Amino acid sequence: MSFEAVLQTMSELNDVHLTLLELAEQKKHALIHNQVEQLTQIVTKENKLLKRIGELDQQRVDAIGNFLIEKGYKPNPRVTVSDLTKIIFNAEEKRTLVDSQKQLLATIRKLREYNELNQQMIEQSLAFINYSIDIMSGSDGDELIYSNPNQTTSGSNRKGLFDAKA
């Protein structure tokens, strides 16, 4: 009975991660098209799903503990699915569990790739925004270069669109 609970929890974990993968795809689209409201909604949905993942992970730990008790082992919350495959002797159950684990890991890997891409897009957007603000505020790039303090600067003291001292 508890083996089925482990498989069910693994399946639910994969389903939630697949939903997160779909949201990551939607987030990419929202970032590209500067849809801030949609991005906010996606982040809210992601937070709810992350909470659900925490609950499911606890269910997985509990199901593994119950399975260990059924098999006469002492329950340990640190036992992973990989550890569990070492004590399952039924070939079909072991294969089913390994397949479920591989499927979840593949989904998590894809999700990680999407999240890294989205993070890069956000960082590039922030860099562009900072660059634009520097241009508009008249931030002078020459201030970063060492110069002779006794030398007088010639030319106009350029002001940007914004007076940062105001």
Distance CA 49, CA 43 (A): 10
| CATH classification code of 2-139 | 1.20.58.300
The pTM score is 0.78
Residue range 105-144, pLDDT digits in tens: 999 999 999 999 999 999 998 998 899 888 888 765 555 5
What is the DSSP secondary structure assignment for residue 149, as one 8-state letter? Answer: T
- Provide the 10 A C-beta neighbour count for residue 76: 11
pLDDT at 97 over 70: yes
Burial code (b: 16+ CB inside 10 Å, e: under 16) for 11-41 equals ebbbebbeebbebbebbbebbeeeeeeebee
Round the average pLDDT of the chain to a whole number and report it: 87
Mean pLDDT of 145-152: 64
